[in-house]
Structure 1
Amino acid sequence: MFRRRPPLPLFPVGALLVGGAVRDWLRGVAPKDFDWAVPDPAQAARELAAQVGGSAFPLDEARDYWRVHVPEGVQHDFVPQPDDVADDLRRRDFTVNALALTAGGKLLDPAGGQADLRARRLRMVSEANLRDDPLRAWRAVRFEVTLGLRMDAATEAAVRQVAADLAAVRLPMPALERVRDEVQALLAHPDAARGVRRLEDLGLLALTLPELREGVGVQQGGFHHLDVFGHELEALHQLLARFPDADLPLRWATLLHDVGKPRTRDTEMRPDRTTFYGHERVGAELARQALTRLRLPAAEVDRVTALVRAHMAHLPISEREARRFVHRRRELLPDLLRLMLADREAARGPQSTPATRHAYALGLERVLAALEEQPAPPPPLLTGRDVMALLGVPPGPAIGEALRAVAEAQALGEVRDAEEARAFLLGQEGGL
């Protein structure tokens, strides 16, 4: 658990290093965020900024909270030193965060956090502290996954009770932006799928992504050996095992790719099997609603929505179809292929055979080859004015439709220059 401890920066005059930075230092991990309790936060922040070439600014002037951003991405926060440091530490969330370190190397540990770190135990300082800020329930799950700890029985019971009281509106729900930050920190970890399952186990997923947990117990059959929820978690696991650098939008899209299945489940159209026709379209809108509710940036929501909507695209069986696939979905590549591969590898049902998996792999390879052959769209052969002059039509939707038809023909190698593009349009005029 503990490695050789990294060096710490020079302590400001009279400062205590507190919280997570001390925890990480004890674990042998170089902290990225430093929390300092100092006699004069403004002065300490300005002095540090001058030393390291960073920028100092107030976070909360009324409470005298200051922050310094260091060029290497390290962050230092400064707050006034409390009159009773031990009492202040006892008001924190977990014992592993209720730590402080003096410039002389003395560890202040009133709640026994160092012993809990050694035991890989996550223990609340008190249930009252947990309930004072219910977001700490989500943080407990994040710490289990990202720090390799495990809640003790009392802490787990308290987290379950917080979730139950939030669901019954006996406690106020934390701001969704704060919930989002905890969940995204969880998703950024290689073992994110386990963390999401833990949220479900503790009753927190229903408060976070109720759309996702609708898949619990929804059986699929066919290519699938897991229920919808289990399959989505396994797909996320497969994605991160193969593509550990996957960004958050791709992780979200993989987790939510089948979120529309419970609402499109149909056993009447095909009595011999369950179908989920249109689940990618329904799922795209559910993903949009969920991530908008969690206040993700609009551009990221759009990306996730587009990936979910496209994940059922048929893979090509020829080079020509591969070029068409790339042309129509270029903006989503290669992430769409990564999602599709994770989806396929998460499926191990009775219809999943070595032959079907091999055929799927060949389709992916065709798309990758076409993408490598044409990594960027070729420059357009015609302009809107060219099309209007050629076809004798006014501005309108038909112009865009014509330009898209030419662009696809160009991507497929059917037209190579402006003259061939004009001939192509004239030949297609009746069908545009």
Structure 2
Amino acid sequence: MPKYVLEILKTLAAGGHEAWCVGGCIRDSLLGRIPEDWDVTTDALPEETLALFPGRAVPTGLRHGTVTVRLPGSNPVEVTTYRVDGAYHDHRRPESVSFTRSLEEDLKRRDFTVNAMALGLDGTLRDPFGGQMDLRRGILRCVGDPDRRFQEDALRILRGLRFAAVLGFSIDPATADGLHRSRALLEEIASERIWAELQKLLCGKAAAAILREYPDVLGVFWPEVLPMVGFDQRNRHHCFDVWEHTLRALEAVEPEMVLRCTMLLHDIGKPSCFTMDAEGNGHFYGHPAVSRDLADGMLRRLKCGNADRETVLRLVEWHDRNIPRTDRGLRRALRALGEEDLRRLLAVKRADNLAQAVEFRGMQKEINLAEDMMNRLLEEKACVSLGQLAVNGRDLTELGYAGPAVGQILNRLLDAVVEGVAPNNREALLQYIQKMETSK
């Protein structure tokens, strides 16, 4: 427990109050993880907490009993009065709260047993609902009735999946049934909240396992996912249906949000592109472009940031595109994508191939070859961007060019260098400009 948290507990105790660290910080500490933040619960009323920390506490949620305390040089700590929640009419926050003097009553209103433990100043652990045992068993279980917990706050549905994915926990059968039954309540939750939870879920070590069990939950806000489930590809390259292929590809990339999101969406357009030839073989002509368009709408719906959205869309669109294992082919790809996204694309291609039938996973050698060639080109400082050109806008201005023509000619010069038509040499490029002019 950090010193500043100990100081807050000691100050509340010296004022005659109970005080406990509570929630995720206790869960993470018991798991041997470093908590991101610390929360405190107390029987002190908000005004009593404010009085104990003059100049160091601000009322940030008086309606719900929360005061934020920041000691010198420390992180802020939310100190909340023990409370009992009133009715939840919007499936997100209680209409009212009433303060109580009972720690157990406060813990009883929390979402999952692993988040309903409290640690005191003397090291006493209060765990009335078996959270510590659930941690040891690797189980996520609601406090009390799952249906009631999810009716109170529908975001708990997605938080539950996120916790299970990140911690690698299984979900208690009664809680799992409640998740499925209550999933439609997610329609009441703001898209930004859903996106925040989904990003963490996708990067969890058990993300694929959780998505495999709960596609119906994902389908509430992304119904485009549902046609993939059980869709037989009828293609010798694929021994899995579209959804299972997607999940295996997802777990084959690093737990980085853009990569995981790309793998989740890279084949989202396959069901709508399906055709079958005379021999009964399935084909998905044009599915990368369809997947890109569907993914665009899905990510916009959840208010995904523009930069991440555009990167995911680019990778989805390129995931099935052949990149020739030649210097020119790699220069073209670097010109179009840049180093970071080309490395991501190779990771996407590698994962996509690993999720195919075993006998068709030979593309791994070709992907490795492309990566080796790319690394060599980068070490040689091959010209693949405007900033690397041996001429610049000033050179063209001195030749009399102005306005949009400057950018157009620079791009044509870069294309010539990338294609191997002209060397990246100032004199050679200036001569190339002259040839361009005489050929008009």
**Distance in 2 between residues matched to 1:389 and 1:263, nearest whole Å:** 54
For the pair 1:308 / 2:316, whether they are aligned, the reply is yes
- Give the aligned residue type for 1:253: T
Correspondences of 1:23-172 after superposition (within 5 Å): 23-38=27-42, 39=44, 58-67=59-68, 76-82=77-83, 83=100, 84-125=102-143, 126-127=145-146, 128-163=148-183, 165-166=184-185
User: Closer, same or farther in 2 for the Cα pair 1:213/1:370, shift >3 Å?
Assistant: farther
Partner deviation per Cα, 1:235-255 (whole Å, 9 max, x = no partner): 111113xxxxx5312221122
User: Closer, same or farther in 2 for the Cα pair 1:213/1:424, shift >3 Å?
Assistant: farther
User: Closer, same or farther in 2 for the Cα pair 1:45/1:338, shift >3 Å?
Assistant: farther
User: Closer, same or farther in 2 for the Cα pair 1:273/1:48, shift >3 Å?
Assistant: farther
User: Closer, same or farther in 2 for the Cα pair 1:372/1:208, shift >3 Å?
Assistant: farther
**Distance in 1 between residues matched to 2:261 and 2:52, nearest whole Å:** 41
User: Closer, same or farther in 2 for the Cα pair 1:302/1:47, shift >3 Å?
Assistant: farther
Root mean square deviation of aligned Cα: 3.4
Q: Check the 8 A contact 1:139/1:182 in 2, yes or no.
A: yes
Q: Which runs of 5+ in 1 are unaligned?
A: 1-5, 241-245
Corresponding residue SS for 2:79: strand
Corresponding residue SS for 2:291: helix
Q: 1:298 aligns with which of 301, 306, 309?
A: 306
Corresponding residue SS for 1:211: helix
**CA displacement at 1:148 relative to structure 2:** 3.6
**Distance in 1 between residues matched to 2:348 and 2:50, nearest whole Å:** 45
Q: Check the 8 A contact 2:167/2:205 in 1, yes or no.
A: no
Q: Check the 8 A contact 1:67/1:78 in 2, yes or no.
A: yes
Partner deviation per Cα, 1:96-117 (whole Å, 9 max, x = no partner): 2222222223333332323333
- Give the aligned residue type for 1:362: L
Corresponding residue SS for 1:31: coil
Q: What is the match of residue 380 of structure 1?
A: 389
Q: Which runs of 5+ in 2 are unaligned?
A: 14-18, 84-99
Corresponding residue SS for 1:78: strand
Number of residue-to-residue matches in the alignment: 406
**Distance in 2 between residues matched to 1:45 and 1:321, nearest whole Å:** 65
Q: 1:225 aligns with which of 239, 243, 255?
A: 239
Q: 2:365 aligns with which of 340, 352, 358?
A: 358
- Give the aligned residue type for 1:237: E
What's the TM-score, normalizing by structure 1?
Answer: 0.81
Q: Check the 8 A contact 1:45/1:78 in 2, yes or no.
A: no
**Distance in 2 between residues matched to 1:370 and 1:42, nearest whole Å:** 65
User: Closer, same or farther in 2 for the Cα pair 1:105/1:93, shift >3 Å?
Assistant: same
For the pair 1:184 / 2:183, whether they are aligned, the reply is no
Q: What is the match of residue 376 of structure 2?
A: 369
Q: 1:322 aligns with which of 319, 330, 337?
A: 330
**CA displacement at 1:36 relative to structure 2:** 0.7
**CA displacement at 1:162 relative to structure 2:** 0.7
For the pair 1:408 / 2:415, whether they are aligned, the reply is yes
What's the TM-score, normalizing by structure 2?
Answer: 0.80
Q: What is the match of residue 214 of structure 1?
A: 227
User: Closer, same or farther in 2 for the Cα pair 1:30/1:324, shift >3 Å?
Assistant: closer
Partner deviation per Cα, 1:312-354 (whole Å, 9 max, x = no partner): 232223223222222222152321221122112222265x164
User: Closer, same or farther in 2 for the Cα pair 1:247/1:145, shift >3 Å?
Assistant: closer
Corresponding residue SS for 2:297: helix
User: Closer, same or farther in 2 for the Cα pair 1:317/1:129, shift >3 Å?
Assistant: closer
Q: 1:235 aligns with which of 249, 252, 263?
A: 249
**Distance in 1 between residues matched to 2:238 and 2:436, nearest whole Å:** 43
Partner deviation per Cα, 1:138-164 (whole Å, 9 max, x = no partner): 22222223334322222222122112x
**Distance in 1 between residues matched to 2:266 and 2:57, nearest whole Å:** 42
**CA displacement at 1:204 relative to structure 2:** 0.4
User: Closer, same or farther in 2 for the Cα pair 1:276/1:148, shift >3 Å?
Assistant: closer
**Distance in 2 between residues matched to 1:129 and 1:330, nearest whole Å:** 47
Q: 2:351 aligns with which of 332, 342, 353?
A: 342
- Give the aligned residue type for 1:262: P
**Distance in 2 between residues matched to 1:283 and 1:146, nearest whole Å:** 27
Q: What is the match of residue 3 of structure 1?
A: none
Corresponding residue SS for 1:213: helix
Q: Check the 8 A contact 1:98/1:109 in 2, yes or no.
A: yes
**Distance in 2 between residues matched to 1:192 and 1:45, nearest whole Å:** 42
**Distance in 2 between residues matched to 1:266 and 1:23, nearest whole Å:** 50
**Distance in 1 between residues matched to 2:343 and 2:45, nearest whole Å:** 51
Q: What percent of counterpart residues are identical?
A: 32
Q: Check the 8 A contact 1:180/1:295 in 2, yes or no.
A: yes
Corresponding residue SS for 1:330: helix
